[in-house]
Structure 1
Amino acid sequence: MADLLYPPVIGAARTWFKALDLRFDMQGTEHVPQRGGAVLVSNHISYLDFIFAGLAARPAKRLVRFMAKESVFRHKVSGPLMRAMKHIPVDRSRGENAYAHALKALRSGEIIGVFPEATISRSFTLKDFKSGAARLAQEARVPLVPVALWGTQRLWTKGRKRDFGRNHVPIGIRVGEPLHPGADESAVTVTERLRERIQELLEAAQRAYPASPKGPADSWWMPAHLGGTAPTPAQAQAL
């Protein structure tokens, strides 16, 4: 079935990005396979991350089918859009259905998008990763494509009002070389390797980021270990 809605939605998103005057720094997109199945794995710091992680696949002319919580599919506006773009609903009490759906899509040559932290990180540091992405890649025999996003939290994140003003916000996107899980590796080991790689990409994006907080009131989006006022990982877990 043709993707009648997905490309126009991407076009609308790009028009919106231009209206917001977002400043993109996107590197490594050549690592996204131009054909065949793959699991695209990203950190999660904003409600909009699926848009930006999916953007990383556009130079390869690929569409990413993201796994997202089922409640998004029940919403009267987002639900029809998510279904039309063939994203995958995840019922956290019955995850096996979503897993089977994603596995079938991978075997048919699709790219599946996964946020292994399962929720937005309020500390803007990496949380523990679930092993589902690694298990999918191993079972489908496809690569894992690591992605790190930075700056997206400044637009809309958990616990903050969204800011869609024309503030020239820089957005950093880093795509790493695909990881090919070994047949004899445990999913835990693969997940650890994947997390380490995304951590490296995240730090690279942070080092290259061309903006810094304008003052104490604006330092909320900077992690505590980098001198910002975002919650520490322990504080974020308590929240």
Structure 2
Amino acid sequence: MKRVVIGPALWLLFRPRVEGVENVPAEGAAILASNHLSFSDSFFLPLVLRRRATWMAKSEYFDTPGLRGRLTAWFFRNVGATPVDRSGGRASEAALRTGLRVLGTGELFGIYPEGTRSPDGRLYRGRTGVARLALEARVPVVPVAMIDTEKVQPPGQVVPTPGRIGVRIGRPLDFSRYYGLETDRFVLRAVTDEIMYELMRLGGQEYVDVYATTVKGRKGAAREEQAAG
């Protein structure tokens, strides 16, 4: 659906430079772990893949009211996205189970390890859910670097501006040496950091060893304080 309806227009307007698409396994389960610069990452990455992948997307994209909300939900369903509640606890566990179910059928499952979009173009600390998923499902992790997508659609901009974007896909990462250790938090952190290092290498982003949500929270608090002042 996505290729027939919007694929040709996206290729024409954004002329994506794609490197390493052959690194995505032609068959079998694998995790696609991507950096997250822009809302439009969820448009471009499924577009360049030769296989369908299921992606985790925040639940707000599926239940926002109004015409725009319905169009957004339609789009995400057609690019293979599945809603996830990001409030933590049981919701996070449910998201993990969703990923395991998809991988258990031999499909590709996509995830943004940072957990949210970068607030400033830098690469932030990864959440360990991607590591736990890889070890429990016993599948490789394919690192994906989105490049310049924040330039065509910065935070707050509804419609992307035509421009050149890039997608760089690295070789699959094998973590079989850690199988059976998915409950060890030190192993989960080591696996996650290895994935984030590869994303930094592929995309050339500056790395910040802080969660992006923490930075966003600080900025929000600063704005509130400034408004109150």
Distance 1:24 1:15 in 2: 12
SS in 2 for 1:36: coil
2:35 to 32, 43, 46: 43
Match for residue 169 of structure 2? 175
Give unmatched runs, 5+ long, in structure 2: 64-68, 182-186, 207-213, 221-229
1:104 paired with 2:101, answer: yes
SS in 2 for 1:196: helix
Tell me the amino acid that sits aligned with residue 26 of structure 1.
Answer: V
CA contact (8 A) 2:39 2:153 kept: yes
Tell me the amino acid that sits aligned with residue 124 of structure 2.
Answer: K
CA contact (8 A) 1:56 1:175 kept: no
| Cα gap change, 1:89 to 1:163, in 2 (>3 Å) | closer
Match for residue 64 of structure 1? 53
Match for residue 219 of structure 2? 238
| Cα gap change, 1:132 to 1:56, in 2 (>3 Å) | farther
CA deviation vs aligned residue, 1:142-188 (integer Å, no higher than 9, x gap)? 000000011111221214464434xxx22111100111112256111
Which structure has greater helix proportion?
A: 2
Q: TM-score of the superposition, structure 1-length normalised?
A: 0.75
Match for residue 209 of structure 2? none
Tell me the amino acid that sits aligned with residue 68 of structure 1.
Answer: A
Distance 1:162 1:132 in 2: 31
Distance 2:18 2:57 in 1: 24
Match for residue 194 of structure 2? 193
CA deviation vs aligned residue, 1:63-111 (integer Å, no higher than 9, x gap)? 1100010111113223244346552211123121121111011011111
| Cα gap change, 1:84 to 1:10, in 2 (>3 Å) | closer
SS in 2 for 1:77: helix
Q: Percent identity?
A: 33
Give unmatched runs, 5+ long, in structure 1: 1-7, 207-222, 224-232
CA deviation vs aligned residue, 1:24-60 (integer Å, no higher than 9, x gap)? 22111111001111110111111110222223422xx
Match for residue 119 of structure 1? 116
| Cα gap change, 1:16 to 1:194, in 2 (>3 Å) | same
CA deviation vs aligned residue, 1:121-157 (integer Å, no higher than 9, x gap)? 1211101111111111110010000000111112212
Considering only aligned residues, what root-mean-square deviation do their CA atoms show, in Å?
Answer: 2.4
Aligned length: 198
| Cα gap change, 1:29 to 1:84, in 2 (>3 Å) | closer
Match for residue 14 of structure 1? 7
SS in 2 for 1:153: helix
CA contact (8 A) 2:33 2:144 kept: yes
Match for residue 229 of structure 1? none
SS in 2 for 1:170: coil
